[in-house]
Structure 1
Amino acid sequence: WDVSEHLFQKCYAALCHFAKLERARQQQQQKLSSHASTVHPNSWHSKRALRVPSNFVVPSGTENGWPVELWDFPLGAKCSAIRHKGLYVKNEPHRRRALEELGFQW
């Protein structure tokens, strides 16, 4: 059993869920802005960097839409450690590629 892989997979799952929620929020914002203005109708269609605030902790509670196994996960701190210390990605190029495909901001 690879502890490092398990921890990376938990972080990756949290990032995937964060990305899904963020993209849904962006689509909703696009719909609202398209009703208000037609100046930049495609502004939200471009692939955006996945930006997780450094103090973000996965909220608990079913009303927040997060899987219970991710509740209270310090995603922002883990993202900072990935960026600054190479957590989970040092000597693991396949993990780095997986994060880049999500739009992870280095």
Structure 2
Amino acid sequence: MGEENTARLLERLQSRLRLDGRDTSELEDVLDYAMTLVTDYAGKDTPQGMIELAVLEVAADLWAKRDARGGILDSPFEGGAPTRLARDPLTAAYPILDRYRGIVFA
């Protein structure tokens, strides 16, 4: 992905996470990591729009994991139950990308 595309994805991710106007250096690292994971997993025939959607999903999950030590996120509500987050960072991307991977033999 080019720099222009990365900047656009960063803006979309900031908006999605409601982080407008904040320092983005840590968010850029998360986005770079998500792009690496998704592009390594995606099939060669995957449309660019699906790759971008998967990148945003994975980046949002990775951002949430920053506050979830041991994979458990405390509830922000009084009396709320803690939530276990997925350990595999690509969990949100699998349903988006798998249809474009074709048959994979192990």
State TM-score, norm by structure 1: 0.31
State TM-score, norm by structure 2: 0.31
